[in-house]
């Protein structure tokens, strides 16, 4: 997989008949990678930073530390950058077409807990013509490497944010079980 140039991404988005103001937003918000056979994956550049950390008020509310801030915000990057963990020949990760986009923009289907769910999802995606193809082992490694890169950048961003703006970060209790 190789990173796409901005000009190439702009042309692709124009071909999808996106509005020009939306094209600028996509270029600013996402980084695009292209597989050898021309399929395109997008990665969000900067997932949001959660500044208010909520905890169940029936327990002692933890003290605000950088470690707590990083751990709480972990959910933001794990929801954006899903690494491909263990899989078998029966549950190989595969690409599906992005809904509402051209045929070349894809997302990997990665984490399916049960074999029966995997088979149902695969059958559904085939029926709807969303299924594109299986990922190769090399693509899995490249994909995970790209995810690691984005995760590391996000963690660095969080550390800088906490160092500079820790006074804007708050720990709050919420009313649970009432």
Distance from C-alpha of 102 to C-alpha of 110, rounded to nearest angstrom:
21
46 and 157 Cβ atoms separated by less than 8 Å: yes
User: Considering only 9-23, 61-75, 108-122, 128-142, which range has the smallest mean pLDDT?
Assistant: 108-122
> How many Å separate Cα 105 from the centre of its chain?
14
User: Considering only 4-8, 39-43, 86-90, 124-128, which range has the smallest mean pLDDT?
Assistant: 86-90
**pLDDT reading at 100 higher than 90:** no
> How many Å separate Cα 150 from the centre of its chain?
9
118 and 110 Cβ atoms separated by less than 8 Å: no
**Residue bearing the bigger pLDDT, 121 or 70:** 70
- DSSP structure string for 124-171: HHHHTT-EEEEPPHHHHHHHHHHHHHHHHHHHHHHHHHHHHHGGG-EE
Distance from C-alpha of 151 to C-alpha of 154, rounded to nearest angstrom:
5
92 and 121 Cβ atoms separated by less than 8 Å: no
Query: For residue 91, what are its two tokens?
Result: 């549950």
**pLDDT reading at 111 higher than 60:** no
Locus of tokens 């995810």: 147
Angle between helix 137-165 and helix 66-80 axes, rounded to 10 deg: 140
> What's the pTM value of the predicted model, to 2 decimals?
0.82
């Amino acid at each position: 997989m190789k990173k796409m140039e901005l000009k190439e991404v702009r042309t692709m988005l124009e071909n999808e008949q996106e509005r020009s103001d939306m094209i600028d937003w996509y270029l600013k918000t996402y980084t695009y990678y292209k597989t050898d056979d021309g399929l395109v994956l997008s990665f969000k550049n900067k997932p949001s930073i959660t500044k208010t950390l909520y905890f169940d008020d029936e327990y002692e509310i933890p003290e605000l530390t950088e470690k707590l801030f990083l751990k709480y915000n972990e959910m933001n990057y794990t929801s954006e950058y899903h690494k491909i963990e263990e899989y078998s020949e029966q549950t190989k990760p595969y690409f599906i077409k992005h809904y509402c986009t051209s045929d070349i923009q894809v997302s990997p289907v990665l984490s399916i807990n049960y074999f029966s769910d995997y088979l149902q999802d695969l059958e559904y995606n085939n029926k709807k013509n969303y299924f594109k193809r299986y990922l190769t082992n090399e693509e899995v490694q490249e994909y995970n490497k790209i995810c690691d890169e984005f995760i590391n950048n996000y963690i660095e961003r969080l550390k800088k944010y906490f160092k500079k703006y820790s006074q804007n970060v708050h720990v709050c209790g919420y009313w649970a079980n009432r």
